[in-house]
Amino acid sequence: MSALVDALRAAVGAPHVLTDGDLSAWEVDWRRRYRGKALAVVRPARAGEVAAVLRTCAAHGASVVPQGGNTGLVGGGVPDASGRQVLLSLTRMNRVRGVDAANLAMTVEAGCVLQAVQEAAAAHGLLFALSLAAEGSCTIGGNLATNAGGTQVLRYGNARELCLGLEVVTAAGEVWDGLSGLRKDNTGYDLRDLYIGSEGTLGVITAATLKLHPQPAARCTALASCATPEACVALLQLARARLGAGLTGFEVMGRFALSLVEKHFPALPRPLAASPWAVLLEQSDTESEAHARALFQGLLEAALEAGTISDAAVAESVQQSRQLWHLRESIPLAQAEEGLNIKHDIALPVSRIPEFVARTDAQLLAAFPGVRLVNFGHLGDGNLHYNVQAPQGVAAADFLREHEAAVNTIVYEAVHAHGGSISAEHGIGALKRQELARFKSPVALGLMRSIKQALDPQAVMNPARLL
Ligand code: FAD
């Protein structure tokens, strides 16, 4: 293996090939569920260097795990324990190559942190509309490789819909320049869409041309209390009818999810009394703040009158709006503080969510008395983070070891029965491979394997993830 390490040093420069010392920042995933051992951590600065790394690894029979900000939640971006995989970190490739304001597009390298991309767009008065709680550390390459969703999918779509073109280093070590800023290009198979969401299993995304939008004139945020999931869905329908495309966020938070935030982040203000469900709504307005407020006021009064909500608060300032978002974004962190839990990032038709929640809650509580259900997510997109925490007083690690498989069976069978998906936005990674094999149609799986075989016949790219 030292011949491989020497060749990698020749490809990217010796200081950018790490083999000794504490490499846990690259080898352990964000949730600390996966701990691997890399043969080397390699940090290229250009697409040409990435290509040289892939050719070198292929020649030595080594596999490559691409990594961006290492915030992925399914164990797809850390090496396995074999000590034979090369960890390819894209974080040195973090330049904004250009902003084309007239074409509402910008081109950035894959290692750009999402927040830096948003800020670069904002500096031109434009909006890059991908937003998620990990935006301070996740990278655009990782966002595209996982087809990330986040809090504005309702209005702007997920990462796939915000991407116009890609630069990719193929598994064979060739650079494909597909950095098109075109909105229309019907010239055959869509290679861009093949690499988006492929979780590093087909090639390495090295740059992307992204779709921008005009910045809204004003943003308005509100929090509303609902008694049931049915009421949350009714509020969504009303908000869509009244706000149309202005509705840019619709997040639900179950009572237990918010109680964890209260427990672990007591300094965060809660503007409303506890209720079974809280809904965070965001409206982006092209006219003015006054216009946004008037629309929100009308919506919330109508919802109160109909009994859909029992209370509501509209943020009076940017600071208050941030605090409301902070409540929502603190849920994953509060959960992590509480201990390991069994995560389910699921998608369902919005109309079937109330029935899914009622049935699955009841089944889980019957099977595991006292189990605590952390339910929150992007209801506007039909995406729930339906997580299961050990009963109070039971060690989280023991509960996971003994019951994870049975809990997953209950949840995923219910998702399947309600016409849903076992992965809405986090991907498959190492975590959900078995479930994918179980719930994806055999025809679809066969086609996916054919694509993998065609684009990466030597299985250089991220083996044993996704497929
Ligand atoms: P990594 O974790 O480094 O990698 C993720 C996967 O992509 C791996 O399989 C890796 O091999 C591959 N990959 C990374 N870079 C490249 C590349 N350049 N080329 C090819 N493959 C690559 N996700 C959502 O969708 N919505 C949310 O709301 C959301 N909220 C989150 C909140 C928190 C607090 C956290 C920690 C995570 C959240 N996530 C969410 C998970 C989300 O998948 C990641 O945050 C993000 O999209 C991954 O980016 P990353 O750069 O960290 O990728």
Q: How many CB atoms lie under 10 A from the CB of residue 455?
A: 19
Contact partners, residue 6, CB within 8 Å, separation at least 6: none
- pLDDT per residue over 202-227, tens digit each? 999 999 999 999 999 999 999 999 99
3-state secondary structure of 166: strand
462 lines ligand 1 (CB under 6 A): yes
Cβ(266)–Cβ(319) under 8 Å?
no
Report the atom number in ligand 1 closest to the C-alpha of 427: 43
Question: Domains in the chain, ordered, with CATH?
Answer: 2-89 (3.30.43.10), 96-214 (3.30.465.10), 218-332 (3.30.70.2190), 339-427+434-439 (3.30.70.2740)
Query: Would the pLDDT of 1 be above 80?
Result: no
Ligand 1 mean position, distance from CA 145 (Å): 7
- pLDDT per residue over 352-385, tens digit each? 999 999 999 999 999 999 999 999 999 999 999 9
- pLDDT per residue over 239-293, tens digit each? 999 999 999 999 999 999 999 999 999 999 888 999 999 999 999 999 999 999 9
Query: Would the pLDDT of 188 be above 90?
Result: yes
Mean pLDDT of the chain: 96
Ligand 1 mean position, distance from CA 138 (Å): 6
Three-state DSSP string of 374-408: EEEEEHHHCEEEEEEECCCCCCHHHHHHHHHHHHH
65 lines ligand 1 (CB under 6 A): yes
Report the atom number in ligand 1 closest to the C-alpha of 205: 19
Residue 369, Cβ density class (10 Å: 0-12 exposed, 13-18 middle, ≥19 buried):
exposed
Q: Which two tokens stand for residue 398?
A: 């023991």
The DSSP annotation for 74-108 comes to SS-SS--TTS-EEEEE-TT---EEEEETTTTEEEE
Ligand 1 mean position, distance from CA 40 (Å): 21
- pLDDT per residue over 99-156, tens digit each? 999 999 999 999 999 999 999 999 999 999 999 989 999 999 999 999 999 889 999 9
pTM of the model: 0.94
Ligand 1 mean position, distance from CA 62 (Å): 23
The DSSP annotation for 189-241 comes to S-HHHHHTTSTTSSEEEEEEEEE-EEPPSEEEEEEEEESSHHHHHHHHHHHHH
Q: How many CB atoms lie under 10 A from the CB of residue 378?
A: 25
Q: Which of 74, 80, 88, 138 to mutate to test the pocket of ligand 1 (most atoms within 8 A of CB)?
A: 138
